[in-house]
């Protein structure tokens, strides 16, 4: 049996992959088992922001794996401290708590915000509330899907934890109206990825930050997908000049090689944790710390935030120049771009299948939006090459019906 057939036979059916079997990656390209090359326009939801097999990151991984990989946080190691120092310096945050996946970082943020509310703000026990936005996506754990507005993510997985309130994304006035005496924090994605690359109005995050300061509420930016250069700034909150009270990072932090995440916060928020309050067997392991440190170095040294801004403009301009009536919207920041299609004309899944046939790999969200989020290392020539295939694919799509339907 082929590897694909074995996966279909033995894996839980929680994914529906496109019909391609990948075997190798280098830079912005992937190859299938038949030797065909593709341009990666997804980057594993930003986890491969530095491209496949970046030499500096592979070197850091292999050198550290040969020395020491995992010990647990029961002991100090020579890798974690320097990594956390570098991470806090790059993000301008005070303290960091290392974890593995983005969902774990968000769960850590939830725990920190609640305990801060009780120990510092004086909220009565078990009355803390966290405000989130409709359309949010922070992961798949039961707490996180409990505050999702997506019915499928919740269906069959309750009962869910109380203590969350939803407000519309992009509406600062709605946030202020929702704040009450027990409000501990507002956790928000600067750009909603899974919802369809939804960019809020300019000034939204700055307005939210001012509201949170006024009401003694923690502002936590969930930058697991948008952070570390993806939107053309080191952090997406930088577009609004916002320094949050808490920050979640993941995906790109592992250099496309292994899961590395962190919750970062100002000191008084992080100080609510005492030994035994929280932890992770693998969080902060020497291998993860070495790769995470190297990833931050690559990000800064290769000026990848700046490249994402320039290449994002080039890619967006090229997409907007395509004559395709099936497109209903193009939106994004930096190298995080969504192209929305009229579902009565074509499904985004079908568009992804057509793109795959043209040598472009991406995926859809909610069957209406195709994501374009290549590695931040992509060059102008590679953007232009991809646009040729994308244009050819889009111009061959069915055209949107504009005339009245026949009676």
Instruction: Quickly list H helices, 36-116.
Output: 55-67, 80-91, 102-116
Q: Which of 83, 186, 251, 394 is catalytic?
A: 251
Would you call 137 a catalytic residue per the annotation? Answer: yes
Alpha-carbon span 176 to 192, nearest angstrom: 20
271 is catalytic: no
H runs (alpha helix) in 321-364 = 348-357
Report how far residue 295's alpha carbon sits from residue 292's, in angstroms, rounded to the nearest whole number: 5
Q: Residue 103: which region, alpha, beta or left (left: phi > 0; alpha: psi -120 to 50)?
A: alpha
Q: Which of 83, 137, 263, 394 is catalytic?
A: 137
CA 225 to chain centre: 1
What's the CA gap between 132 and 110, in Å, rounded?
Answer: 11
Kindly list the distances between the CA atom of residue 44 and the CA atoms of 135, 203, 224, 258, in Å, as whole numbers in the listed order: 20, 29, 12, 12
Q: Is 201 helix (H, G, I), strand (E, B) or coil?
A: coil
Beta bridge partners of 360: 39
Phi and psi angles of residue 310, each rounded to the nearest 5 degrees, phi first = -70, -45
- Known catalytic residue: 222? yes
Q: For residues 130 and 163, give the distance between their C-alpha atoms in angstroms, rounded to a whole number.
A: 6
φ/ψ of residue 291, rounded to 5: -70, -45
Tell me the H-state helices in 69-223. 80-91, 102-116, 142-146, 151-154, 172-178, 204-214
Catalytic residue among 40, 169, 186, 222: 222
Nearest CA-CA partner of 129 in 189, 218, 237, 224? 218
Pairing of strands 369-372, 364-365: antiparallel
The candidate with the shortest Cα–Cα distance to 255, out of 25, 40, 41, 61, is 61
Residues marked as catalytic? 137, 222, 251
């Amino acid at each position: 049996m082929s590897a694909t057939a074995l996966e279909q036979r033995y894996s839980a059916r929680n994914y529906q992959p496109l019909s391609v079997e990948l075997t190798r990656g280098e830079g912005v390209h992937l190859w299938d088992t038949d030797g065909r090359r593709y341009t990666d326009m997804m980057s594993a939801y930003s986890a491969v922001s530095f491209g496949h097999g970046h030499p500096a990151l592979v070197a850091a991984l292999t050198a550290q794996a040969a020395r020491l990989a995992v010990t647990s946080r029961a002991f100090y190691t020579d890798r974690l401290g320097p990594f956390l120092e570098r991470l806090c310096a790059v993000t301008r945050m005070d303290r960091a708590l290392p974890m593995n996946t983005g969902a774990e970082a968000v769960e850590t943020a939830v725990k920190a915000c609640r305990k801060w509310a009780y120990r510092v703000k004086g909220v009565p026990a078990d009355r803390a509330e966290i405000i989130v936005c409709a359309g949010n996506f922070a992961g798949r754990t039961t707490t996180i899907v409990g505050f999702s507005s997506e019915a499928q993510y919740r269906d069959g997985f309750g009962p869910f934890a109380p203590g969350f309130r939803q407000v519309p994304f992009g509406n600062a006035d709605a946030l202020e109206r929702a704040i009450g005496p027990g409000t501990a924090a507002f956790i928000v994605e600067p750009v909603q990825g899974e919802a369809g690359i939804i960019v809020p109005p300019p000034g939204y995050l700055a307005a939210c930050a001012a509201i949170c300061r006024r009401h003694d509420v923690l502002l936590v930016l969930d930058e697991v997908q948008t952070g570390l250069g993806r939107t053309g700034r080191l952090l997406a909150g930088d577009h609004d000049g916002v320094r949050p009270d808490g920050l979640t990072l993941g995906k790109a932090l592992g250099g496309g090689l292994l899961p590395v995440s962190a919750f970062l916060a100002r000191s008084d928020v992080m100080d609510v944790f005492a030994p035994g309050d929280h932890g992770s067997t693998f969080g902060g392991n020497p291998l993860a710390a070495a790769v995470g440190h190297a990833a931050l170095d690559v990000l800064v040294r290769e000026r990848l935030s700046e490249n994402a801004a320039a290449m994002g403009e080039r890619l967006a301009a090229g997409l907007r120049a395509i004559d395709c009536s099936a497109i209903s919207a193009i939106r994004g920041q930096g190298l995080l771009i969504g192209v929305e299609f009229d579902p009565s004309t074509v499904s985004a899944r079908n568009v992804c299948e057509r793109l795959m046939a043209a040598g472009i790999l991406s995926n859809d969200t909610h069957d209406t939006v195709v994501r374009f989020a290549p590695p931040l290392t992509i060059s102008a020539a590679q953007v232009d090459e991809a646009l040729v295939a994308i244009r050819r694919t889009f111009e061959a799509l069915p055209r949107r019906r504009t005339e009245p339907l026949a009676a």
